[in-house]
Amino acid sequence: MRAAVPVVLFAALAPGCASDTNWNLRSETDVFAQAPNNEVDILWVVDDSYSMAEEQATLAQGFASFGDELEISGTDFHIGVITTSFEYTDPLRGALQGDPPYLTSTDDYEVEFQERATAVGVEGSDKEKGLEAASWAVSQEMTAPNGVNAGFVRPTAQLLIVIVSDEEDCSDNGALEGQSPEACYTEDDQLIPVMDVLEDLQDLKSDPSRVTLSAIVGQSNSPCPEVWFGSRYILAASLTGGFTGDICESNWNGMLAIMGLHAVGIRDSFKLELGAQPDTIEVLVDDATVVESDTDGWTYDPSTWYVTFHGASVPPRDSVITISYVVDPGNVAPSATSG
């Protein structure tokens, strides 16, 4: 739930000023709510190209940290795995891997996920289309009662998509068909805009904030060789309040524990309706004031319009978050910069 309550304040210039022009400050109040239930559908999109064997093994080894958060919280979850290979001639593209096609708390889900994370192999396409594959896998056509992925997506559940890849996204809707993988980088203007993919995903929910994308991908400063900057995945995560981790990390326990927190339906980031003047932001959680702090409070990112909570200040389930601020009229909407 989010409600925007605009208030316009008018103030005259002080007497004696050269100009008598009036100026106005627009005050905004955005109201959010943590998920009232513990349902979450989690789609893992694992790169299955030739360079991913080590990363798949690291994901499998660290998955227990993710699973621990699900176990502790008693989350009602569905976990599915697909790959970044997305051949348009394949009728099973975007199909969930394994039997059963998705895992729940009644399965030996940690062991079975570990098996699936590595069983996808490394013989997949070298044009990794993680965003397109994810969007198709959870589409109404794929998840309808007679669809390939029937039952995976539930109307009332949160949807978390996690991308794991050492390459940039090459979702192109067929525009680069027949060209070499290098075209994913040299002709990136032919790729599907990230915002178009996100809008398709958010259209699945009555509340778009119930869709989050996170990614373990190459960062701009990743130290390991043969890893490409996953800028499109990182943009998708930033626009949905998701988490991004560096695929070059040797131990993923910490990253996966954070993602586990996201998975249990406890969001730590909330996107404002409009860009805020940072020094005017006031935050309440269930009528209690939360201070600005990057250790036990909140921080604001003017480039994405997200207020992010840290430490013990992360709002609990079913809480109401109220954020008031003065609008920064010069702050460009984040969607305007999407690729």
- Among 43, 35, 42, 75, which Cα is nearest to 210's? 35
Provide the β-strand partners of residue 211.
Answer: 159
Longest dimension (CA), the chain: 78
d(CA 287, CA 260): 27
Backbone phi, psi, residue 19, to 5°: -115, 145
Helix axis angle for 130-137 and 231-240, nearest 10°, is 50
**Mean pLDDT for the stretch of residues 188-193:** 96
- The identity of residue 33, as a single letter, is A
**Which residues, 6+ apart, have CB-to-CB distance to 5 below 8 Å?**
28, 29, 30, 31
| E-assigned strand segments in the chain | 2-11, 23-33, 39-46, 76-83, 158-164, 211-217, 244-246, 269-271, 282-285, 288-290, 298-301, 306-309, 320-326
Reported as a single tens digit per residue, the pLDDT across 209-224 is: 889 999 999 999 889 9
Task: Decide: 161 and 134 in contact? Cβ < 8 Å.
Answer: yes
User: Does the pLDDT at position 12 exceed 60?
Assistant: no
What pLDDT score does 38 carry? Answer: 82
HEC-encoded secondary structure of 185-222: HHCHHHCCCHHHHHHHHHCCCCCHHHEEEEEEEECCCC
CA distance 40 to 37: 9
> Is 225's pLDDT higher than 80?
yes
Residues 6+ apart with CB under 8 A from 151: 78, 102, 143, 145
pLDDT in tens, 117-144: 999 999 999 999 999 999 999 999 999 9
Q: Phi/psi at 233 (nearest 5 deg)?
A: -65, -40
pLDDT in tens, 31-80: 988 877 689 999 999 999 999 999 999 999 999 999 988 888 888 999 99
Give the CA distances from residue 266 to residues 28, 198, 199, 309, in Å, rounded to whole numbers and listed in that order: 24, 20, 22, 11
How many CB atoms neighbour CB 253 within 10 A? 16
pLDDT beyond 90 at 182:
yes
With contact defined as beta carbons under 8 Å apart, do 56 and 117 qualify?
A: yes
Query: Looking at residue 311, what DSSP letter applies?
Result: G
Residues 6+ apart with CB under 8 A from 152: 41, 43, 78, 80, 96, 101, 102, 137, 138, 143
CA atoms within 13 A on the CB side of 317: 14
Could you tell me the domains of the chain? 2-34+272-280+293-337 (no CATH), 39-263 (3.40.50.410)
- Structural contact between residues 56 and 120, judged by C-beta atoms closer than 8 angstroms: yes
